[in-house]
Structure 1
Amino acid sequence: MTNRLQHFSYGGELIRFERLTRPKAGKLLIKVHPDCRVEVMAPPQTPDEEVLAAVKKRARWIYEQLRDFRQQLEHVTPRRYVSGESHLYLGKQYLLKVIVAPSSVQGVKLLRGKLEVSVRQPGSETVKAQLTQWYRTRARELFAKRLDAMLEQALWVVDRPPLRLLNMQTQWGSCSPNGRITLNPHLVKAPRECIDYVILHELCHLAEHNHSERFWRLLGQVMPTWEKTKQLLDGMAHRLLTS
């Protein structure tokens, strides 16, 4: 079963949700994520009409969850890229230290619990550009290593799939019909187990192209703790995408 987008109205608002197939038979499960995505997991045999009716019964709760998350997003302090800010890398917090030296080589170093950014002239955009490039370089190197490690578990994959990086607002990864895996460079700020989860998730799509029951069963075989890890990643989503 492929994913399907559905919607309903509540409080004068059109609320969209994505229906996913629940890996195990059971009750319908509704999740509202910090980035305001709404997912509904249901057994494959459940008719869409029944799913929609169940979602409407929880409409008020969904609406309130979305309202609370949106309020949190509104009060996030914008990044200034100055010394003393805290930035994430592999799930850990690092203090930012900006060094302005006109004759220095611009770049970023991870040193003694700090992210040291050297720039020739002051300015938040200059610091941001250096930090963004550093994250991207680290992501490219680390994702390639973790992909090789995860391929040892993904026995159904014959050839190493091509890998690319792409900034995405609502996805950590994707798998194209021709087998190319795309990962969000912001993912490098998450704990290593979250990176492994996303990579394994996409490798499972090489065998099962949609979120069918077989897909979730396969993911559960290679990563029994995937649900806990996904919950951790979902809870960090906004911080990772804005830090």
Structure 2
Amino acid sequence: MSALIYLEGRELSFFYGDERIVFLRLDRPKASGKVQIKVYPDCRVVASAPEDADSETVLSAVKKRGRWIYEQLRDFRKQLEFTTPRQYISGESHYYLGKQYLLKVIEAPKQIQGVKLLRGKLEVSVRTKSTEKVKELLTDWYKARAKETFAKRLDAMLEQALWVEARPPLRILTMQTQWGSCSSNGRITLNPHLVKAPRECIDYVILHELCHLAEHNHSKRFYRLMSQVMPHWQQTKVRLDGMAAVILNA
């Protein structure tokens, strides 16, 4: 879990049945090991490989996962069919901590502009109705809630992460393809969109990054540690991944 948007790489492709699947090949400097393949909710396929691996080796590795990639793309495309662009008008449904809330936009020229969570609704007060202003206010509100919520959940998860000696620095940063990341110097970065997911999903992402403080790669030891602190993390991951298309576009 790292990086914002993959801007550099080489496009390669292969056929699975009648479908041509295009993927982006990224180099991992000074890395060894297997080719890592990810399919993102926006249907981008990325293969991360050691920089000295030739294209044929990478292509072969990706082809072997052809069926899995095809099924991932199929599932994400189904989700995207039901995802309509946000208009930020009254009546829309928006997520917060796993629950859906109706958006209510109030035009009040003399009131302070802002967002309140009241009686199952997200009420946004604006001086004049503007899609961009409503979006801006909601974005700021989500970031503020994320900062507060993530700090509390980090403290709670640290009680389980006995290998962590000191509370790691926490940063909130909007990312297009990741829920979170852990830098080489131990800073944890979390996506504010994650605050729209259920608390269990937030805890999963935080624990995932805390495990990276002990194991920097997705090794067997990493997953063993993850299973020790959250035995059912796979189910939680599936739940979060299933909500990705809706949450990231909300």
Where on the TM-score scale, by shorter chain, does this alignment land: which range? 0.7 to 0.9
CA distance in 2, matches of 1:36, 1:12: 13
- Which residue matches 1:76? 83
Correspondences of 1:104-143 after superposition (within 5 Å): 104-143=111-150
| Alignment pair present for 1:148 and 2:178 | no
Deviation of 1:189 after TM superposition, in Å, equals 0.1
Q: Distance in 2 between matches of 1:198 and 1:35?
A: 20
Runs of at least 4 residues off by over 4 Å: 5-8, 30-33, 37-40, 49-55
Decide which of 6, 9, 17 is 2:14's aligned counterpart.
Answer: 9
Amino acid corresponding to residue 148 of structure 2 in structure 1: E
Percent identical across equivalent pairs? 72
Distance 1:158 1:111 in 2: 40
Bigger drift between 155-164 and 8-17 goes to 8-17
Shift, 1:147, TM fit: 0.2
Structure 1 residue 233: Cα displacement: 0.3
Alignment of 1:1-243 (within 5 A): 9-10=14-15, 11-16=19-24, 34-36=41-43, 56=63, 59=66, 62-63=69-70, 65-66=72-73, 69-70=76-77, 72-73=79-80, 76-243=83-250
Preserved contact between residue 99 and residue 198 of structure 2 (Cα < 8 Å)? yes
Unaligned runs of 5+ in 2: 1-8, 27-36, 48-55
**Superposed CA RMSD:** 2.8
Deviation at 1:134, TM superposition (A): 0.5
TM-score by length of structure 2 reads 0.78
Cα deviations across residues 1-46 of structure 1 (Å, max 9, x unaligned)? xxxx99651244433589xxxxxxxxxxx98554435589xxxxxx
Q: Give the 3 Å change call, closer, same or farther, for CA 172–73 of structure 1 in structure 2.
A: same
List runs of 5+ in structure 1 lacking aligned partners.
19-29, 41-48
Q: 1:54 to 1:237 in 2, by over 3 A?
A: same
Q: Secondary structure at the match of 1:174?
A: strand
CA shift in 2, pair 1:222/1:39, >3 Å: farther
- Give, in whole Å, the separation in 1 of the partners of 2:237 and 2:121: 28
Partners of 2:117 and 2:123 within 8 A in 1: yes
Please say if residues 17 and 37 of structure 1, whose CA atoms lie closer than 8 Å, have aligned partners that are also in contact: no
Counterpart-to-counterpart distance in 1, 2:57 and 2:239 = 30
Tell me if structure 1 keeps the 8 A contact 2:79–2:245. no
Structure 1 residues 39 and 212 mapped into 2: Cα distance closer, same or farther (>3 Å)? farther
Cα gap change, 1:221/1:38 in structure 2, threshold over 3 Å: closer, same or farther?
A: farther
TM-score in terms of structure 1 length: 0.80
2:31 equivalent in structure 1: none
Q: 2:220 corresponds to which letter in structure 1?
A: E
